[in-house]
Structure 1
Amino acid sequence: MARRPKIKITYIDRLGKCPCHRGHRPGDSWDFDKDRGEICSMVMHVAFPYIDILRYGGEIPQPGQKKGTAIFCCPDVETINVFKIERIDEEKED
């Protein structure tokens, strides 16, 4: 049975006027399997469908984005944090 690819989540930008209420800062990064309890639950609510699609072989058709990635925003209108999800295939790690 093939291993599931790793998923990396990175906070890449803030579009809103307020900093993240959970304390996340641009540049923060998490391994979905190891660190998911450290990520804001609102972010995870939005991220999970993208993670599920990427992890199980699908792609997110976002113009200008690299295959195996997805960009999305936190639903908090005061912060509007921007996150990037990347599928990390084992062969790319070597």
Structure 2
Amino acid sequence: MARPAIKITIIDRLGKHPCHRGHKVGDTFDFDSERGKLCPMACHVAFPYIDILRYGGKIPHQEDGCATFCCPDVDTINVFKIEKIDR
């Protein structure tokens, strides 16, 4: 059985400054094939959520198969949505 795909989308920006990596609301990344394009700080925060979703867990207070998180850059605060996509 193939493991689920993971799609990461930037859904909002709460900070006052643009992302130093150039990410914008609406950008989408396939975790398996495009993780090198994703900001390393955001990827570091995303990984535990991805691991939980990919292997059958659920994030409290989140819809099934999804998680939202913020990047750790306080000046930018991009908000990301992770979606598990069953193949």
Gaps of 5+ in 1: none
Runs of 4+ aligned residues of structure 1 deviating over 3 Å after TM superposition are: none
Equivalent residue, structure 2, for 1:82 = 79
Instruction: Using structure 2 for the length normalisation, give the TM-score.
Output: 0.97
Secondary structure of 2:80's counterpart equals: strand
Q: C-alpha distance in 1, partners of 2:43/2:57?
A: 19
Letter aligned with residue 83 of structure 2: E
Q: Where does structure 2 lack aligned partners over 5 or more consecutive residues? A: none
Matched residues in 2 for 1:24 and 1:66: separation?
25
What is the match of residue 33 of structure 2? 34
Percent identity of the aligned residues? 71
The DSSP-based 3-state class of the residue aligned with 2:6 is strand
Partner of 2:21: 22
Larger radius of gyration: 1
Are 1:61 and 2:60 counterparts? yes
Offset of residue 66 of structure 1: 2.0
- TM-score normalised over the length of structure 1: 0.90
